[in-house]
C-alpha cells in the first residue's frame, strides 16, 4: 500500500507567483494541488467554528441538544452496561 504524504497550506492568494517553502520535500514528485476557496463555504446557522467565539451559536446548539436529550435513557444504558460487564466476569 502506498504512503500518502499530505500537507495543508492556508494562504491568501496575493499573486500569481507563489513561494511555498513547505513544498520543498515534494520537489521532483508528481503531486495533486487542490485549491478551495474558503470564503465561498456556507456555514450552517447553528454551527460553531472553533476559535470564532460564536457563543450564541453554541448556546442555540446546546439548547437544541438539551431539548431532545433523553437523560433517563443514558442512565438506563449505563446500568445495562454494568450488568453486561458483571455477566462477562462470571
In a domain, 57, yes or no: yes
Within 7-70, where are the H helices? 55-68
CA atoms within 13 A on the CB side of 29: 11
In a domain, 29, yes or no: no
Confirm if 18 and 11 have CB atoms less than 8 A apart. yes
In a domain, 68, yes or no: yes
Q: How many domains does the structure of the chain reveal?
A: 1
The pTM score is 0.34
Boundaries of domain holding 66: 41-89
In a domain, 19, yes or no: no
C-alpha triplet 35, 32, 38: angle, nearest 5°? 15
In a domain, 35, yes or no: no
In a domain, 13, yes or no: no
Give the Cα separation of 56 and 47 in Å (integer). Answer: 10
Mean pLDDT (10-residue bins), the chain, 90 residues: 71 83 86 76 58 80 84 88 89
Amino acid at each position: 500500500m502506498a504512503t500518502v504524504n499530505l500537507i495543508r497550506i492556508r494562504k491568501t492568494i496575493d499573486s500569481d507567483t507563489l513561494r511555498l517553502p513547505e513544498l520543498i520535500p515534494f520537489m521532483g514528485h508528481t503531486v495533486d494541488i487542490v485549491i478551495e476557496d474558503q470564503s465561498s463555504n456556507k456555514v450552517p446557522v447553528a454551527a460553531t467554528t472553533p476559535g470564532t467565539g460564536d457563543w450564541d451559536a453554541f448556546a442555540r446548539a446546546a439548547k437544541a441538544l438539551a431539548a431532545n436529550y433523553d437523560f433517563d435513557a443514558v442512565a438506563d444504558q449505563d446500568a445495562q452496561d454494568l450488568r453486561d460487564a458483571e455477566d462477562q466476569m462470571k
